[in-house]
Amino acid sequence: MTVSPLRSNGKGIKGPVVLVIMDGVGIHAGKNEGYPGNALDLANAPTIKGLIQNAPISLQIRAHGRAVGMPSDDDMGNSEVGHNAIGAGRIFDQGAKLVGKAIESGKMFEDDRWMGLIGRPDRPGIALKPTSSGKRPVVHFLGLLSDGNVHSHIDHLITMIRKSHEAGVEQVRVHILLDGRDVNEVSALDYVEKLEKTLAELDASGKNYRIASGGGRMNITMDRYDAN
């Protein structure tokens, strides 16, 4: 991905600038509008409330969907997405959207890394070449099983599995990380069932495609608070 340099508009405000990022604070209806769940509205926060009401210059911007480079306006934002957009100072495609575009255009499956690992019948990658035992290697997929579109989308995984099947991969093992942060916290089985349906369909053609392991994202590789 490449982006052009930002152009100066020749305007600005003299004096120091303070950048304050408050995760989870947004502009929303409050109790006077019949919405009782706005924590900022309910809190004693005279400084931030005063700035919102009385600041000489203010601008409201969206923090979700296409406004911050997400695939669709149904996709909620989060801290990573917001920090990327603020740091870049512009709208650019976030990770899940870039992957989706690469899959849709077919460029992902023309990439040297995909071709080197999977390939196709007339140009086999590692996964299509028999080992010394005479069997072809097992292909493993590891990732977040979710449609949150922040770190991943389940459709990306399913497409890669189907492309592996089309290429002639005989065995696939999927190691799933259950979400619960970017999607409903009790929605794991919805995604497992969708994946299982695809694997069963491909299994019926004589292949061996299975879920091999799984667990919650906060316990396996994606604990943002105690990752070290």
| Residues carrying an active site annotation | 79
| Closest by CA position to 144, among listed 70, 101, 195 | 195
- What crossing angle do the helices spanning 154-167 and 95-105 adopt, rounded to 10°? 30
Residue 222 tokens read as 């994606």
Residue 180 pairs in a beta bridge with none
Quick count: other Cβ atoms within 10 Å of Cβ 70? 25
C-alpha–C-alpha distance, residues 224 and 155, integer Å: 24
Fill in the amino acid letter for 1: M
Determine contact, residues 128/118, Cβ cutoff 8 Å: yes
Beta 123-124 vs 171-178: how paired, if at all?
unpaired
